[in-house]
Amino acid sequence: MSIATATLTPDSTNAVVPPMATEAAAWDAFVASHPCGHHEQSSLYGKVRHAYGYEIDRVVLRQAGEIAGGAQLMWRRTPIGRIGVVQRAPLALDDEPELLAQVVEELEGLAEALHLAVLRVETFAPQGTARTVMSAKGFVPRKYWGGEHLTSRIRLPGNDEEVLGRMTPKGRYNIRRAQRLGVEVRQGGREMLEEFYRLYALSAAHKGFVLFEPGYFEYLLDVFGATGRVALFTAYHENRPVAALFNMIVGEHMLYGWGGVDRSEEVRKLMAGYLLHYEAMKWARDRGCEYYDMLGISATSTAGLTRFKTRIAPERFRWPTAMWKYYGRLGSARAVAAEAAWSRPMLKKLVTGGARRLGLRPTMPW
């Protein structure tokens, strides 16, 4: 892992400083303080991905010695060239366009120094200024590879009845059923982590996804907890933990992060998950959030999971597509070939299967 930094002063343009170690704690503090900062830009997230074959670099802009902007880059060597990914960045103080433009310039300089074939940048909906800046720098939104990300969400302003009124009748019914059956939701911190992780592991085993280690969630509470950007919720029935959530706030959205539920038949009938999310919605609303985002519905989601999400968050919403830029003499040809492959179902299937066999789409913790 190596870090590239840039220094910014009011009287001069940016100059790239030779790669040097930037203290992880300082970067994490900047990410945690930024309204759109997300765990996928954190130093530990980079270390986790490093263990799965990615190299991690970072560009950092400083004003008077303090971090004013930056982006963490993950990249890997592949048979078709080096591929770079930036998730939930670039970031800059106050989303200042000039600062964001300088971050993108430094990021492109790093991409060229690393001889990347392509750079893919994924953003959240509140990062419109960053996308405008990237567009001006030649990045193009493209639907292929990651595709369009369809999610379900609900607006949060208003009183409790107004929030409930935005749900489907079945969603409201299941929330009230959980209340009648004595389900209780509590919001907490480290004291709930063991219960959360046990339920998270149950869901991982049921759905077949890879888990983050327990220490990862302790780290998130340490980094983001002081800013009120993460929240842990647990549903209890007769003082027994039956479902849990670990959510993050990004901009005006609370995002459904990780969850778990007891899979026993008696718990299933409690509808505890409905009440759990509803209480998380109210908590987020009271802290100024505009939306509660269920973090995606897709063709790979089970019908039951999609029904659950859309009953309590019925608004369908498309996240911004990833922005791409190709580099090198073959950049234009690569862009055309990728577009052609993804526009044809059979070619798309072959490319996707080949990417998995080549390790370009590894299964990593979620």
Spatial separation of the C-alpha atoms in residues 225 and 28, rounded to whole Å? 12
Q: Beta strands 12-17 and 66-78: pairing type?
A: unpaired
Q: Beta strands 253-261 and 291-293: pairing type?
A: parallel
Tell me, yes or no, whether 179 and 250 share the same domain.
yes
Q: What is the mean pLDDT of residues 78-99?
A: 93
Q: Which residues of 79-114 are buried (b: 16+ CB within 10 A; e: fewer)?
A: eeebbbbbbbbbbbbebeeebbbbbbbbbbebbeeb
Tell me, yes or no, whether 30 and 139 share the same domain.
yes
pLDDT at 215 over 80: yes
Within-domain flag for 365: no
The count of residues in the chain is 366
Within-domain flag for 364: no
Tell me, yes or no, whether 96 and 29 share the same domain.
yes
Tell me, yes or no, whether 77 and 166 share the same domain.
no
**What pLDDT is recorded for position 57?**
96
Within-domain flag for 362: no
Within-domain flag for 363: no
pLDDT at 11 over 50: no
Tell me, yes or no, whether 242 and 314 share the same domain.
yes
Q: What is the mean pLDDT of residues 153-165?
A: 98
Tell me, yes or no, whether 257 and 287 share the same domain.
yes
Place 13 in a pLDDT band, splitting at 50, 70 and 90.
very low
> What single DSSP character describes residue 137?
T
> What single DSSP character describes residue 51?
T
Tell me, yes or no, whether 171 and 298 share the same domain.
yes
Within-domain flag for 82: yes
Within-domain flag for 366: no
Q: Which residues of 141-177 are buried (b: 16+ CB within 10 A; e: fewer)?
A: ebebbeeebebbbbbbeeeeeebbebbeeebbebbeb
Q: What is the mean pLDDT of residues 6-30?
A: 58
Q: In angstroms, how far is CA 7 from the centroid of its own chain?
A: 28
Structural domains of the chain, count:
2
Place 323 in a pLDDT band, splitting at 50, 70 and 90.
very high
Tell me, yes or no, whether 206 and 278 share the same domain.
yes
Tell me, yes or no, whether 290 and 163 share the same domain.
yes
Place 187 in a pLDDT band, splitting at 50, 70 and 90.
very high
Q: What is the mean pLDDT of residues 274-299?
A: 92
Tell me, yes or no, whether 95 and 134 share the same domain.
yes
Instruction: Find the distance separating the first CA and the last CA of the chain, reported in whole Å.
Output: 21
Within-domain flag for 234: yes
**What pLDDT is recorded for position 245?**
97
Place 21 in a pLDDT band, splitting at 50, 70 and 90.
very low
The CATH number covering residue 295 comes to 3.40.630.30
Within-domain flag for 169: yes
Answer yes or no: are the C-beta atoms of 195 and 241 closer than 8 Å: yes
Tell me, yes or no, whether 29 and 39 share the same domain.
yes
Spatial separation of the C-alpha atoms in residues 236 and 99, rounded to whole Å? 46
Tokens found for residue 176: 């009230």
Q: Which residue has the higher pLDDT, 22 or 99?
A: 99
Q: Which residue range is the domain that position 240 belongs to?
A: 150-318
Q: Strand (E) positions, 142-251?
A: 150-155, 183-188, 230-237, 240-250
Tell me, yes or no, whether 326 and 229 share the same domain.
no
